[in-house]
Structure 1
Amino acid sequence: MAGTVVFDLDGTLADTSADLIAAANACLSLRGLTGLLDPVRDAGFAFAGGRAMLREGYARAGSDWIIPPGAEDADFLNLLGHYGANIAVHTRLYPGTLAALERLADAGHRLAVCTNKPEVLARALLAELQIVGMFDALIGADTLPVRKPDPRPYVAAVEGAGGTVARSFLVGDTVTDRKTAAAAGVKVALVAFGPEGAGLSRLAPDAMLAHFDDLPGLADRWLG
């Protein structure tokens, strides 16, 4: 009997860190700041969100630099604009992503995305990566008044895909995804190929995915 597999996007389906970091660095450079972020070393900040990247960049400016009033809000809007215009310059699907999605769909499972990325950007990115049509539902950070780890976006993703929460699980890469699954009362598989790698096992997920090749078998076991 088929079920629903819900995916986070950044750091789970695709490595978006380089394009996210580039957008943040563009904003920091406009302020004359030189403590720029590295797309590899600072990938964790990228997947924590735009404001997290900006705050880290501000912190690297040192104590002599005072954040101007309203700077973060203005820079965040600029970051979104820059990112939207350069959304898939360096971004790539993780190895095995497309094959896993195809195998899940062939097995009759519904597929959905639940991300804290703004919906319009998430949809644009999935389109650029040529996989938007594989998902039956997409819930972004601004689709509902709340976002992950509140369980309501997850529930909306499952139900939007035509599934039931009782026959679903989440695939993600952060503590936010772990908390979302717990709040929704579902299992979670965290990927070991994202920025934190196997260190995510500290969150005690129901499973760790070493490669997307392992996902269809996991879905068979969990969804029967």
Structure 2
Amino acid sequence: MRTVVFDLDGTLADTSGDLLAAANSCFRGLGLDDLLTPADRGTALKGGRAMLRLGFSRVTGYGEDEVDRQYQALLDAYALAIDTHTVFYPGAMEAVRALKDDGYVVAICTNKPEALAHTLLTSLGVRDEFAALLGADSLPVRKPDPEHLFETVRRAGGHIDKSILIGDTVTDRDTSKNAGRPSILVTFGPGDDDVRDLKPEGLIGHFDELHGEVRRLIG
């Protein structure tokens, strides 16, 4: 089966608002101000530790030990308000359903913890649209290790040699290269990478373009 594997954060949905809010709740718990702003959306998509490091870099007296101490608190805060600000990018779920209608299997391979990804997609009412969902802790490895992608395809019931990864960062591009599979990167995500410089096999500026690019690359 032809399989289209999606990254989640920054690709299908802009989750940065809720991630930043969770990090700022940790800073407030320490008696600090909100240390992150919407301008830090790109860092939000690099994970909880990256957000904590950035925030603590803007004040004195906090180092990596505090990042470790606050990380679980951040995850807990995020789980409690996981979909307050999160929105799918325009046309994202319509594109997913169109691919399914055309016989493709669709799945998600994300570096978000699996339970949080499951909770988010369930809350948004779309978990059942995806044949498989693997997160950062689903396997001993994670993206950009190709096994993360390979196992996602396997669990979805697809064929690795007819698979493609849709993402938004250098991590997704490196995953596809390590796997020997093509990737399509979105140009509208809030990440810090200039995806055009990553030279993926395909680029899209809107999900309306996805179906044609997928067909061009994997048939």
Interval containing the TM-score (normalised by the shorter chain) = over 0.9
Q: Hey, what's the Cα distance between the residues in 1 that align with 2:44 and 2:79?
A: 15
Paired residues for 1:205-220 under 5 Å: 205-220=200-215
Q: What percentage of residue pairs aligned between the two structures are identical?
A: 49
Structure 2 unpaired stretches of 5+: none
Q: Hey, what's the Cα distance between the residues in 2 that align with 1:209 and 1:69?
A: 37
1:54 paired to 2:52: yes
Q: Hey, what's the Cα distance between the residues in 2 that align with 1:197 and 1:180?
A: 17
**How many angstroms does 1:94 deviate by?**
0.4
Aligned length: 219
- What whole-Å deviation, never above 9, does each CA across 1:22-67 have from its counterpart, x for those lacking one? 000000111222361112x110110011000000000001xxx222
Residue identity matched to 1:210: G
Paired residues for 1:140-219 under 5 Å: 140-196=135-191, 199-219=194-214
TM-score (normalised: structure 1) = 0.94
**How many angstroms does 1:207 deviate by?**
1.1
Residue among 104, 120, 134 paired with 1:109: 104
Query: Contact between 2:139 and 2:148, CA under 8 Å: does it hold in 1?
Result: yes
Residue identity matched to 1:193: F
Q: Hey, what's the Cα distance between the residues in 2 that align with 1:133 and 1:69?
A: 38
Residue identity matched to 2:115: V
Query: Contact between 1:35 and 1:60, CA under 8 Å: does it hold in 2?
Result: no
TM-score (normalised: structure 2) = 0.96
Structure 1 unpaired stretches of 5+: none
- RMSD between aligned residues: 1.5
Report runs of 4+ in structure 1 exceeding 3 Å deviation: none
SS of the aligned residue for 1:6 comes to: strand
